A and B are shown apart, each in its own frame.
Chain A
Amino acid sequence: MSQAQRSRSHDPGLARARTSLAWTRTALAFAGIGAVILRRDLTAGLVVLALSVLVWSVGRLAGGTGPVRGRPVRLLVITVAVTGVSLVALGLAMFGPQTAWIRP
């Protein structure tokens, strides 16, 4: 079996490669929003940047050569992370420095 055939049978339709790239884009999105939050709140921004590192490492694991297994836990981690980020952003929006309408 040649190298091309082995890679084709291991990654049919380049599904693993595309999924790995999707994980990378998600990690970059985390990093981007972490940078946005970092400008307003240092702690929350650092947390989101750490989450982007976590997403990137999880994506490396997902795109590896291992069997298709353990994905619910990883995806649940991402879901919790994104929900947490949205809650942090909601808190910043409601009680952040620009919320003079709530704290006159």
Chain B
Amino acid sequence: MVTLVTLAVAVAARPEPAWALMTEANVCPSWRRLIRLATGVFALKNASQFFAIMEAAPELATGLAEVAGADEDGAELGLELAPELELLPLLEQAAMPAASAHTSRICWTTLRAIIQPFSNFSPPPATQRTPVHDTGVRQAVASQLGAVIQSWPLRSWLASSAEDDVGERPAAAVPGRVRTAISAGEETQTDASDRARPAPPPAPPVTGGEPDARYTFANERTFLAWMRTALGLVAAGLAIVQLLPPFHGIRWGRHAIGVPLIVLGGVVAVVSYLEWSANQRALRQGDPPRRSWLPHVLAATIALVALVAAVMALISG
């Protein structure tokens, strides 16, 4: 019985026209707003509000003036309030660093955390990264608010703002050393980085341009050392073939030792030039140098030649 009554009331209470109106209002509010704008309803509303404010403003001003003038203590109160009102926009909360400063710091620390395992590239120190206007605002706040803000430890404020950065970043993506350094404040972060990486070697430029002259010269010296090695191999092979007394019973003995050394000298010359070119390109682009397979070839060939020489020396006796 109760169920039947409830159903009947529910059927009767289902307001089809109201449901349709709500749907229409929800589906196309902008269309209705456009219609109001086209028919001038908004203009009328704004104009009426503007005139109402204009009418009310002089009354409010005169009312405030009457209140201030009626009471002598009120005038003193107004004078006392005036400096605070001037100081109000320069409060510390109003002068918090902009979002760009946080973003740049996050970018540098994240970049450092990503790059550090792979290279010696180090971003500029944190003191140079602080935006100029940010520092100016902080100094202005400290000077305007006088002894109150100057007795405040500015360092703790920096630390608290840096801790907000830690909260915004996923903790697993940052090494522990950098994370603790950030939570200890910006100055401490720089100190910790310098302490953990003592005397960082000068890094080559990352992209484009000519690399540091020292790296270019070092690469060239490596190439020249390979050239001397090649020349030494050629000289040794030629001396073995031309100057060494022949092995007894083995007519091709000297050539079996000397010719591989001469061929290896030529191969070393060509490959070392290719490696110098590749290393110079890697320096220019900031990539790590390629792993050279030339030492392996050199060691294997010399070991093989030595083995053959030993065997022939034993055979020829």
Contacts and interface: CB of A to CB of B under 8 A. Distances in A.
A76 B274 CA distance: 10
A79 B230 CA distance: 10
A71 B214 CA distance: 14
A61 interface: no
Q: How large is the interface on B (under 10, 10 to 19, 20 to 34, 35 or more residues)?
A: 35 or more
Interface string B219-233: 011011101101111
A75 B220 contact: yes
Given A68-B210, A68-B216, A29 B241 contact: no
A37 B239 CA distance: 9
B277 interface: yes
B238 A36 contact: yes
B238 A93 contact: yes
Given A72-B277, A86-B234, A22 B242 contact: no
Contact of A15 (B217, B225, B252, B259): B217
Interface in A1-29: 12-13, 15-16, 18-19, 22-23, 25-26, 29
B221 A89 contact: no
A34 to B, nearest CB: 9
A60 interface: no
A75 B273 contact: yes
B241 to A, nearest CB: 4
A37 B270 CA distance: 21
Q: How large is the interface on A (under 10, 10 to 19, 20 to 34, 35 or more residues)?
A: 35 or more
B18 to A, nearest CB: 83
B108 interface: no
Given A22-B221, A37-B238, A101-B255, A71 B227 contact: no
A75 to B, nearest CB: 6
B278 interface: no
Given A19-B217, A92-B242, A26 B266 contact: no
Nearest to B229: A29
Contacts of A94: 255, 259
Nearest to A72: B277
B263 A86 contact: yes
Nearest to A33: B235
Interface string B194-211: 000000000000000010
Given A22-B221, A29-B227, 9 more contacts: A18-B217, A22-B220, A39-B242, A68-B217, A71-B220, A82-B231, A93-B242, A99-B255, A101-B252
Interface of B: 210, 213-214, 216-218, 220-221, 223-225, 227-228, 230-235, 237-239, 241-242, 251-252, 254-255, 258-259, 262-263, 265-266, 269-270, 272-273, 276-277
Interface of A: 12-13, 15-16, 18-19, 22-23, 25-26, 29-30, 32-33, 36-37, 39-40, 62, 68, 71-72, 75-76, 78-79, 82-83, 85-87, 89-90, 92-94, 96-101
24 contacts: A22-B221, A23-B224, A26-B231, A29-B235, A32-B231, A32-B235, A68-B213, A75-B223, A79-B227, A79-B269, A79-B270, A82-B234, A82-B269, A83-B266, A83-B269, A85-B234, A86-B233, A86-B263, A89-B238, A92-B238, A92-B241, A93-B242, A101-B252, A101-B255
